[in-house]
Structure 1
Amino acid sequence: MLIAPLTPYLTFDGTCREAMTFYQQCLGGDLQIQTVAGTPAAEHMPAEAHNSVLHAILTNGNLVLMASDAGTQQITKGNMVSLSVNCQSAEEIAALFQQFSEGGVVTMPLQDTFWGATFGMLTDRFGIDWMFNYDKPAAQ
């Protein structure tokens, strides 16, 4: 089974835009930032959180670094980094999610998302946070 490279996903306590802009200055590349405002996530968040970063991605060649602001999650040094796996099929994401969740804690079950993917999060039995994403093919 060939799996895409792991992508670090950083979580910040309101400083995501500043941090990712700094990392772009250091590493170069293209930085894309999406705020909570204007997305379905805004319906579930207080108005003061609408300018928070929902998702940021910095790319430069093979470098991919993703990040977001935590929202309501309490940030500590141990939970600021997750590993993200971008799966290539519905079968792959289901199998990997099931395997990694054994003995762990599912924090967000696999579900369809507004960005057109199947996505889920868990903490494995060793305390490592994982994100699994499968971008579904666009409807023809």
Structure 2
Amino acid sequence: MPHLNPYIHFNGNAEEAFTFYKSVFGGEFETVSRFKDFSNPEHPFPEHELNKIAHISLPIGNNSYLMGSDVPEMLGTVNEQENRSKISITAESKEEADKLYNGLSAGGAVEMPIADSPWGAYFGMFRDRYGIEWMVSFNEKH
């Protein structure tokens, strides 16, 4: 069975964001690569971008990863207020759902407080302090 691994982009603060995510999920980064690691004389990165994140991955649970990078300025910027997608997390308990919801939403904007939903799940939605949208749920029937 395939595994889905969200890959999110940032405007120069990927390292800060992933340090925050690591504080909530725990674990250690599997990969941290910077633009300087991919330096090419034919296509050099500007000096001020060399320490930005080219790729970072954080293992989450079994066989899942949260991955991301900064977007080089030559490619434009990420719209941090977009509303195209959300990262959905299914917790294994109500306590874990609360921990993840409260941890990840700290400093962000709550869209739907975590609570029992009409469809039977314990569910909440928010945009974290980095503009990433999340859904956290727990359903004891699944």
TM-score normalised according to structure 2 size: 0.49
The structure carrying a bigger strand percent of its residues is 1
Q: Which has the larger radius of gyration?
A: 2
TM-score normalised according to structure 1 size: 0.49
